C-alpha cells in the first residue's frame, strides 16, 4: 500500500477528502453513472486533472462521465460540461508556467495520441497515453524490468 503524505501531514484516506475539495469544480454533484475511470495522482493539481479530462472527453466524445479515482478510491464523476466550465478559470493556469507546456505533445489544440515504445531491441512493449507527463512515463508492458518506455513520434 502506497500512502501519499501531504506536506501538511495529512495521510491515507484524508487525501481522498482533500482531492474532492480540490477537484470540486470538476465533479458533478449527484452524478453516479460514468463510462470509465480516470486514475489521478495525489500530487496532481486541478488544472492538470482538468487537462487530462479534457483530452479523454475529446478523444471519446460518446463519454458522458468519468469517475475520478485516487488510489482506488472513487472521488466523484466528472462530466464534459464540468470540464468545459472549469476551463475558463482552472485551465492554462498562469502559475503552471508556459515553458513547462511548450512543446509537450498532447497539450496542443489538436489532439494527439502519445505513443511509447520499449527501448530493448526486439521487445514489442508499447503503450499509448492521451497525455505526456515526464513524471509518469509508462514502463514496459511486456517485461517491467525493461523500465521506462521511450516517447515515439
Distances in Å between the alpha carbon of 132 and those of 77, 105, 138?
A: 23, 6, 10
- Please state, in angstroms and rounded to a whole number, the distance separating the CA atoms of residues 81 and 150: 34
* Cell numbers standing for residue 27: 465533479
Q: Which one among 56, 70, 86, 140 touches Zn ion, defined by CB under 5 A?
A: 140
Report which of 34, 73, 82, 66 is spatially closest to residue 130, judged by C-alpha positions.
66
Query: Does 137 help bind Zn ion (rule: CB under 5 A)?
Result: no
Only segment of 33-41, 65-73, 113-121, 131-139 that touches Zn ion (CB under 5 A): 113-121
Query: Does 18 help bind Zn ion (rule: CB under 5 A)?
Result: no
Query: Does 106 help bind Zn ion (rule: CB under 5 A)?
Result: no
Only segment of 20-28, 33-41, 59-67, 137-145 that touches Zn ion (CB under 5 A): 137-145
Q: Which one among 123, 137, 148, 151 touches Zn ion, defined by CB under 5 A?
A: 123
In three-state secondary structure terms, 126 is: strand
**Starting at the edge strand that comes first in sequence, how are the strands of the sheet with 66-70 ordered?**
36-40, 66-70, 73-78
> Minimum distance from CB of 124 to Zn ion (Å)?
8
Q: Catalog residues that contact Zn ion under the rule CB under 5 A.
A: 118, 120, 123, 125, 140, 142-143, 146
Amino acid at each position: 500500500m502506497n500512502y501519499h503524505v501531504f506536506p501538511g501531514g495529512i495521510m491515507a484516506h484524508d487525501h481522498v477528502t482533500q482531492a474532492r475539495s480540490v477537484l470540486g469544480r470538476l465533479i458533478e454533484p449527484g452524478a453516479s453513472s460514468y463510462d470509465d475511470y480516470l486514475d489521478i495522482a495525489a500530487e496532481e493539481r486541478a488544472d492538470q486533472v482538468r487537462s487530462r479530462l479534457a483530452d479523454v472527453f475529446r478523444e471519446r466524445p460518446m463519454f458522458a462521465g468519468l469517475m475520478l479515482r485516487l488510489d482506488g478510491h472513487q472521488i466523484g464523476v466528472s462530466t464534459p460540461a464540468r470540464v468545459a466550465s472549469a476551463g475558463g478559470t482552472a485551465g492554462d493556469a498562469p502559475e503552471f508556467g508556459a515553458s513547462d507546456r511548450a512543446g509537450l505533445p498532447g497539450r496542443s489544440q489538436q489532439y494527439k495520441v502519445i505513443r511509447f515504445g520499449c527501448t530493448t531491441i526486439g521487445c514489442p512493449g508499447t503503450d499509448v497515453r492521451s497525455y505526456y507527463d515526464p513524471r509518469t512515463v509508462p514502463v514496459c508492458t511486456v517485461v517491467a524490468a525493461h523500465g521506462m518506455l521511450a516517447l515515439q513520434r
